[in-house]
Structures are given as structure tokens and as C-alpha cells.
């Protein structure tokens, strides 16, 4: 047994030595040293924990402090508030509460100090108690036009809800009687215009919700007299611009939602609003953030610019935002970030950069963000640009992680098992076919070439598994070196050569059998020489297909095989990277054509055998059953190999569109 294992051990030693040429060794950090960049000191001990082990749901510090403060509170608070419950639903948890007014009789429902007149098909406010009314919900009634005649006799009410009322016009003087109202919901209507001086001077309005209407512009004096307003919700309208003069009266405004509009620029949009803390401009059409765009908002703490069309972040765009805590720039088209773009954001704790075009952020771009605690990228390898940040997402791509090339232990074991089985099994096939005498030399030649093709995949798996051992526990430090190494390109070449040659050789074998069965008299068995020429042509074609990405052509870029840690050209994580059409043709077109042909050929052969059989019925049924089983196994194994690859590639392409 020892002798039999020697060649395998020698091969592994050679492979590890080869890989060591592209992976410099590093020494581990001793407990007595100060934590290096990318490591974080545990609370109350000298243990240093790598960035990748913070907030990974595993306790690595003696006191578990690496799992403390893992919630990104600024972002969570924003989304919780943005998608808050409807006003009436906030009372649902109170259970049964008696009406605050004795002998209350109305078509409306009463609960405590709240009255609900939802979807009662009324166009005027019914008779209601005149005092101590906290909430009046008139949602779903066809008011259409709001005026003093149908709304002016409202009692004093703290919160008024007029959602889903088909309101398309609000006349002047409508809200003159709402002197005590602090919260007004006018969302989900058809309001296309707001008149100037709509709110009376004596109003106490603090929250105004105008979301999901049809507003295109904001008149200059529309918010006059709203000096006490704290929150203004204008999301999901059709605003193309915002004039600073419109917002100027809102001196106490703290929260402004402008997301989901048609804004193309924000130049000159914001007056001096020192109390503004939250601003959402998400899901608009902004292409640029001008210099000093937010200079009049010095108290801004949460800024959301996701879902726009930003291409470049320039120096000075975030001037005077030294109180900003959270910045969302995800889902844009950013491909360039100037070195000093984030310099003013000295107190930033959360930064989201997912869903952009850049792939290699400069390592100095984020250096000014000394208090950054949470950063979000598309790829875990980008965390190299933020080694001092405690939590960097993602921590892996499903295959690799910040720590390991093959992150999952089951995946790691499976790669080794398949590598050993592929190499051992195909070597035995090659030796057996070479040593044993074969009555059908052509068939034996096909089998040997198919075994050689599958052996290449086994060698690829051994190289990947060996690389995982070399980089174990510190993969992120050498991730870029590995992906651009000669060994990774060799792995990509071997896997592509194996896949394409297997598909072509299987198609050739199927064609040979197909013609022999369907035209047994019209075709002679090909000679070994002719079969060899066919195989040489197939290997040459496969080799050219696998080698073209290594020619340095600009179409393929420099990461065709190195786009991921396992050096596959499948391009799942970035399906539209350079050379994606080439990858799609290889894994979708070629494999699909080969699979369809093989299925068709074997179904046709089975039919021909059934028709041409002249043996006894019992013998015929037995033979047909045996042939059907053999053909079924061949087709099933082909489907199991190729269908998942084709499906995954198609899903990746369609999901990104």
C-alpha cells in the first residue's frame, strides 16, 4: 500500500512546490505584538482576530467580543422607518380598547381615541367627536377634491389619514381648520399639483406624507408656514427637479424622502437646512453629484444615493458632511472614484458600494474613513481596500472566502474525492486499454481519448485542491496573486480543454454508433488511421478554444480564467465580464448542441433496433430492454453533467439583465 501511494504523494509534493512559487509565505502574528492591519484586538485580551472572523456567527475572542455590535444600525433604522406600518396598523397590537366616547354612534369604528372610517364610500367627513381625537383614518373614500366644504369642519385631530382617496386637487383653505394636526397622510392619491401657501400660518404640522402621487414640480411658496415640519415624504412622484426656494421655509426639517422620482440633477436643490439629518435621493436618474452639492446640509447623518446612474465620484461632492454616518451608493454605475472623494466624511461608519462597475478600488480611496465600521462590496476580494474596517461584506462568493480558497469543508472534501477518483479511474482505463488486446481498435481508441479528456479534469481538481492547502487561512492576502498566476491560467486551460474535448469526443462516438445502427450496409467501419485524424482535429479545435483566452487579446482582458478563485471561465459571479460572449458560446451553445444531438441519436438508434430486430419475441424484448438501459445510462449521465452547467450559466446571464 505504501508503494502504491508513493506516486500520488510525489505528485502532490511537486504541485505544492509549483504553487509555492506564486505564494510567498507569511509568519503568524504573535500575541505579544500589536494587531496588524486587517486584525482587530479582542475586548480585554491580547488576542487579535482577522477581519474575516468578525461578525461571522462564530466566537473567536475569549469573551466573544468579535460578535458584538454586528448590526449596521444606521441602515437598519432608515429602512425600518421608511417602510413603517400604516397609521391604523400601529394600533393593532393594542388588542381590544373601548371607545373613549360614550354613546358613540357612527358608520365609523372607534378604538380608544382613534376613529377609523376606511372604505365607507363617503365624500364628506361624518359627524365626529369634537375633542380628544388622536387619529382619524379616512383612507379609501372617494374625496377626489379636497376643499374647505368637505374637510373644513374637522374636529381637532392629531393624525389625519387620507390615503387611497383618489384625490387629484387640493384647494386653498382646505387645511385652515387643522390647527392642531401634527401628522398628515396624503399618500397614494393622484395629486398632480400643490398650490402656494397651502397651509395656514398657525399650523403645527410636523410630518407631511405626499408619497405616491403625481407631483412634477414644487411651487416656490408651497411649504410656506411649515417651519415646524420635521419630516417630508415626497417619494414615488414625478419630480424632475427641486428648487431650493421651495424647501427654504422648512427650517426644522430633519428627514426628506425624494426617492423614486425623476431627478436628473441636484445642483442648487438644497437651501441652508442645518437640522437635516436624513436625505434619500435613491432610485432617481442622477448621473453626477456636483461639487458642494450638500454643503448647505452640515448636520446630515444619513444619505442614500442608491439606484441612480452615477458614473464617477469626484473630489468635493461630499464637502461639509463631517457628521455623516451612513452613505449608500449601491446599484449605480460607478467605475471611477477620485482619491479624495471621501475625504470630508471623517465620521462615516457605514458605506455601501454594491452593484457598481468598478472592480479594483484604489487602496487609498477609503483611507480617510478612519471610523468606518461597515463596508459592502460586490466581491469579497475588494475588502483588501478596507483592511482596517471591522465588518466587510461579502465574506465569500459561495466557493471562496476571505479565509479559504475552498471555503466549505464539504466542498473541499468533494474536490479531493473527485480528483482522486477521476485520476485513478481514468489512468486505469488508459492502462487497461493499452495493455489489453481489443477486437475493435477504433472503439478502444475513442475510449482512450475520452479517458484522457476526463483525466485532465482530474488534474485540474488536484491543482485547485492543492492551492487551497497552500492558501488555507490566509487566502485574501494572496487572492489577486493567485488569480493572475500561471498556475491559475493552467487550471483554466485544463478545465476548458477537458470540457470541450469531452463534448466533441462524445459527439463523435455517438455519430459513429448512430451511422452504424441506422445505415449498417451503406457505411464501412472507419479505419484506425481515419479515426485518429478525426480525434486529432477535435483535440486541436479544443486546444485552440482553451488557449485563445491566454493570447493576451484585449477582448478577453487579463482575468478570463482568473475571474474567480477556482479559475473557471464559467463567469457566474460577473456574467458580463470581458469575453462573456465567448464563455456563453462554450458553455451554452456547444454543450446544448452536443446534448441535443446525443439524445436524438440514441432515441433514434433505439427505435431502429426495435424495428429491425428479427429474433424471437422473448429474446427481442430482453435485448431491447438491455439496449434501452445502456442508452438510458449514457443519456442520463450526459444530462447530469451538462444540464446543470447550462442552466447555471443561463440563470447568471438572465439574472443580471
- CATH, residue 66: 4.10.400.10
Domain boundary among 220, 247, 262: 262
Residues 202 and 57 in one domain: no
What average pLDDT does the segment 154-160 reach? 87
Q: How far apart are CA 186 and CA 342, in angstroms?
A: 37
The distance between the two most distant Cα atoms of the chain, rounded to a whole number of Å, is 105
Residues 133 and 167 in one domain: yes
- Convert 176-197 into a string of H (helix), E (strand) and C (coil): CCCCCCCEEECCCCCCCCCCCC
The answer to whether position 254 is within a domain reads: yes
The answer to whether position 599 is within a domain reads: yes
What average pLDDT does the segment 436-461 reach? 85
Pull the grid cell for residue 595.
446534448
Q: Are 488 and 522 in contact (CB under 8 A)?
A: no
Say how many C-beta atoms besides its own lie within 10 A of residue 92's C-beta: 10
Q: How far apart are CA 281 and CA 305, in angstroms?
A: 5
Residues 55 and 111 in one domain: no
Task: Give me the pLDDT at residue 604, please.
Answer: 86
pLDDT at 35 over 90: no
Domain boundary among 50, 70, 90: 70
Q: Is 262 helix (H, G, I), strand (E, B) or coil?
A: coil
The answer to whether position 163 is within a domain reads: yes
Please return the burial class of 30, using the count of CB atoms within 10 Å of its CB with bins 0-12, 13-18 and 19+: exposed
Domain hosting residue 92, numbered range: 80-262
Q: How far apart are CA 253 and CA 213, in angstroms?
A: 21
Residues 47 and 104 in one domain: no
pLDDT at 294 over 50: yes
Among 193-197, 544-548, 575-579, which stretch is predicted with the lowest mean pLDDT? 575-579
Residues 124 and 47 in one domain: no
DSSP-derived letter for residue 396 is B
The predicted model scores a pTM of 0.78
The answer to whether position 54 is within a domain reads: yes
Q: Are 496 and 586 in contact (CB under 8 A)?
A: yes
Residues 478 and 499 in one domain: yes
Residues 41 and 188 in one domain: no
The answer to whether position 550 is within a domain reads: yes
Which has the higher per-residue pLDDT, 611 or 578? Answer: 578
Q: How far apart are CA 214 and CA 168, in angstroms?
A: 9
- pLDDT tens per residue, range 194-221: 988 888 888 899 999 999 999 999 999 9
Residues 572 and 637 in one domain: yes
The pLDDT mean for the chain works out to 84
The dihedral through the CA atoms of 334, 336, 341, 346 has a sign that is positive
Q: Which of 268-277, 558-567, 596-605, 624-633 has the highest mean pLDDT?
A: 268-277
Residues 96 and 240 in one domain: yes
Tell me the CA end-to-end span of the chain in Å, nearest whole number. Answer: 54
Domain boundary among 240, 262, 284: 262
CATH number (domain holding residue 504) = 1.20.1070.10
Pull the grid cell for residue 461.
481538481
- pLDDT tens per residue, range 226-283: 999 999 999 999 999 999 999 999 999 999 999 999 999 998 889 999 999 999 999 9
Rg of the chain (C-alpha set): 35
The answer to whether position 619 is within a domain reads: yes
Q: How far apart are CA 610 and CA 536, in angstroms?
A: 35
Please return the burial class of 35, using the count of CB atoms within 10 Å of its CB with bins 0-12, 13-18 and 19+: middle
The answer to whether position 193 is within a domain reads: yes
Q: How far apart are CA 342 and CA 386, in angstroms?
A: 13
Residues 45 and 92 in one domain: no
Q: Which of 129, 151, 149 lies closest to 141, judged by CA? A: 151
Task: Give me the pLDDT at residue 192, please.
Answer: 93
Residues 187 and 41 in one domain: no
Residues 484 and 618 in one domain: yes
Task: Give me the pLDDT at residue 622, please.
Answer: 57
Backbone angles phi, psi at 571, to 5 degrees: 55, 60
Please return the burial class of 299, using the count of CB atoms within 10 Å of its CB with bins 0-12, 13-18 and 19+: middle
Domain total in the chain: 3
Q: How far apart are CA 220 and CA 6, in angstroms?
A: 85
512 — pLDDT class (breaks 50, 70, 90): confident
The answer to whether position 448 is within a domain reads: no
Amino acid at each position: 500500500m505504501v508503494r502504491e501511494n508513493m506516486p500520488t504523494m510525489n505528485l502532490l509534493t511537486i504541485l505544492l512546490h509549483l504553487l509555492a512559487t506564486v505564494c510567498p509565505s507569511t509568519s503568524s502574528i504573535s500575541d505579544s505584538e500589536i494587531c496588524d492591519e486587517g486584525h482587530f484586538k479582542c475586548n480585554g485580551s491580547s488576542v487579535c482576530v482577522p477581519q474575516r472572523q468578525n461578525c461571522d456567527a462564530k466566537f473567536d475572542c475569549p469573551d466573544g467580543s468579535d460578535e458584538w455590535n454586528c448590526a449596521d444600525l444606521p441602515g437598519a433604522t432608515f429602512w425600518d422607518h421608511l417602510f413603517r406600518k400604516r397609521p391604523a396598523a400601529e394600533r393593532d397590537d393594542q388588542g381590544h380598547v373601548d371607545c373613549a366616547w360614550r354613546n358613540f354612534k357612527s358608520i365609523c369604528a372607534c378604538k380608544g381615541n382613534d376613529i377609523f372610517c376606511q372604505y365607507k364610500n363617503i365624500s364628506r367627513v361624518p359627524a365626529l367627536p369634537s375633542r380628544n381625537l388622536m387619529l382619524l383614518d379616512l383612507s379609501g373614500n372617494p374625496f377626489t377634491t379636497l376643499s374647505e366644504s368637505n374637510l373644513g369642519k374637522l374636529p381637532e385631530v392629531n393624525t389625519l389619514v387620507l390615503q387611497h382617496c383618489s384625490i387629484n386637487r387640493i384647494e386653498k383653505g382646505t387645511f385652515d381648520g387643522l390647527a392642531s394636526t401634527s401628522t398628515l397622510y396624503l399618500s397614494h392619491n393622484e395629486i398632480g399639483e400643490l398650490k402656494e401657501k397651502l397651509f395656514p400660518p398657525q399650523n403645527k404640522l410636523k410630518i407631511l406624507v405626499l408619497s405616491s402621487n403625481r407631483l412634477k414640480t414644487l411651487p416656490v411658496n408651497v411649504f410656506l408656514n411649515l417651519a415646524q415640519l420635521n419630516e417630508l415624504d415626497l417619494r414615488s412622484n414625478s419630480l424632475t427637479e427641486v428648487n431650493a426656494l421651495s424647501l427654504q421655509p422648512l427650517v426644522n426639517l430633519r428627514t426628506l424622502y425624494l426617492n423614486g422620482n425623476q431627478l436628473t440633477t441636484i445642483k442648487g436643490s438644497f437651501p441652508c437646512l442645518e437640522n437635516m439629518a436624513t436625505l434619500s435621493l435613491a432610485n432617481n436618474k442622477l448621473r453626477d453629484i456636483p461639487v458642494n452639492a450638500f454643503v448647505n446640509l452640515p448636520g446630515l447623518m444619513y444619505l442614500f444615493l442608491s439606484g441612480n446612474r452615477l458614473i464617477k465620484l469626484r473630489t468635493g461632492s461630499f464637502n461639509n458632511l463631517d457628521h455623516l454616518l451612513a452613505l449608500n451608493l449601491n446599484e449605480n454605475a460607478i467605475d471611477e472614484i477620485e482619491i479624495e472623494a471621501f475625504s470630508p466624511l471623517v465620521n462615516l461608519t457605514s458605506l455601501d458600494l454594491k452593484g457598481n462597475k468598478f472592480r479594483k478600488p484604489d487602496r487609498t480611496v477609503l483611507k480617510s474613513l478612519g471610523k468606518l465600521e461597515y463596508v459592502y462590496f460586490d466581491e469579497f476580494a475588494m475588502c483588501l481596500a478596507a483592511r482596517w474596517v471591522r465588518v466587510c461584506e461579502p465574506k465569500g462568493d459561495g466557493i471562496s472566502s476571505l479565509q479559504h480558497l475552498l471555503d466549505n469543508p464539504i466542498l473541499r472534501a468533494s474536490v479531493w474525492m473527485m480528483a482522486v477518483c477521476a485520476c485513478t479511474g481514468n489512468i486505469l482505463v488508459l492502462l487497461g486499454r493499452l495493455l489489453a488486446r481489443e477486437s475493435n481498435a477504433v472503439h478502444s481508441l475513442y475510449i482512450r481519448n475520452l479517458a484522457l479528456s476526463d483525466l485532465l479534469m482530474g488534474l485540474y481538481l488536484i491543482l485547485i485542491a492543492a492551492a487551497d492547502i497552500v492558501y488555507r487561512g490566509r487566502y485574501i492576502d494572496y487572492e489577486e496573486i493567485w488569480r493572475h498566476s500561471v498556475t491559475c491560467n493552467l487550471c483554466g486551460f485544463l478545465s476548458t480543454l477537458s470540457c470541450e474535448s469531452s463534448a466533441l469526443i462524445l459527439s463523435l462516438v455517438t455519430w459513429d454508433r448512430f451511422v452504424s445502427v441506422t445505415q449498417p450496409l451503406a457505411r464501412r467501419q472507419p479505419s484506425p488511421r481515419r479515426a485518429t485524424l478525426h480525434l486529432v482535429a477535435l483535440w486541436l479545435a479544443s486546444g485552440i478554444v482553451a488557449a485563445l483566452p491566454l493570447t493576451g487579446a484585449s477582448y478577453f482582458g487579463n482575468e478570463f480564467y482568473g475571474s474567480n478563485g477556482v479559475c473557471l471561465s464559467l463567469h457566474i459571479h460577473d456574467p458580463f465580464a470581458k469575453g462573456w460572449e465567448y464563455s456563453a458560446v462554450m458553455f451554452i451553445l456547444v454543450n446544448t448542441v452536443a446534448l441535443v444531438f446525443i439524445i436524438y441519436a440514441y432515441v433514434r438508434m433505439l427505435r431502429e433496433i426495435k424495428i429491425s430486430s428479427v429474433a424471437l419475441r422473448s429474446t427481442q424484448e430482453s435485448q431491447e430492454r438491455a439496449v434501452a438501459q445502456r442508452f438510458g445510462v449514457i443519456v442520463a449521465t450526459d444530462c447530469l453533467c451538462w444540464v446543470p452547467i447550462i442552466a447555471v450559466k443561463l440563470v447568471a446571464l438572465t439574472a443580471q439583465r
